[in-house]
Amino acid sequence: MSQTGLLDNILTQTETLRTMTLQAAHNLRDFSRRLELILSQDHKNMAVRDTAFAEEFSSFCTALRQETDAKMDYWQQARAQLRSGPDKDGYELGLAAKSFVSRAKALSKATDEFTTAYDYFNRFYKNYTLAKLPVWLLTACCDDLNNLTGKILFLSRELTKKTERIRGY
């Protein structure tokens, strides 16, 4: 695959990862709202109405872990391919590299939203004792997404420097 084709695929995957992260943040905010309501009902000694919470949260965490693992595998290969590419493609990659930088920054904002939603969820989770939840999966996903986003941002800056050096800026 040429560097241009690889970069087009990377741009698509960056957007896909951003969309996945935003959706996960939205779902996590919904789980936080539900958990807050469950804690309120439990505190008032009322019967908890949301009986499917633990099961749905577990399936959310499992699905998120699988998606994150798939993205991690792709990005590990893509980073290696992009770094091993020839330097002569710098002229063709200039515009795509700048687009990659902007998409990487958008991904960073989405990851920040997910991290904020995760922190908000943890404020309520520390008081939740009704069922055992796989929060460790959520923590691992949050850490992996933050690390992956940092690597993508670094790769985008590295590619931009490479193309600017080749173009003589």
Residue-wise pLDDT for 95-150, tens only, equals: 778 889 999 999 999 999 999 999 999 998 887 777 788 999 999 999 999 999 99
Return all residues near 112 (Cβ < 8 A) that are at least 6 apart: none
Per-residue pLDDT tens over the stretch 55-87 = 999 999 999 999 999 999 999 998 888 877 665
Three-state SS for the chain is CCHHHHHHHHHHHHHHHHHHHHHHHHHHHHHHHHHHHHHHHHHCCCCCCCCCHHHHHHHHHHHHHHHHHHHHHHHHHHHHHHHCCCHHHHHHHHHHHHHHHHHHHHHHHHHHHHHHHHHHHHHHHCCCCCCCCCHHHHHHHHHHHHHHHHHHHHHHHHHHHHHHHHHCC
Q: How far is 12 from 82, CA to CA, in rounded Å?
A: 15
Average pLDDT (18-24) is: 97
Instruction: Give the predicted TM-score (pTM) of the model.
Output: 0.88
The pLDDT, as a whole number, for residue 94 is 72
Average pLDDT (14-38) is: 96
Nearest-Å Rg of the Cα atoms of the chain is 20
Q: Measuring CA to CA, how many Å separate 88 from each of 77, 101, 158?
A: 21, 20, 15
First and final CA of the chain: distance in angstroms? 27
- The residue ranking higher by pLDDT, 28 or 84, is 28
Average pLDDT (16-30) is: 97
Q: How far is 56 from 71, CA to CA, in rounded Å?
A: 22
The pLDDT, as a whole number, for residue 151 is 94
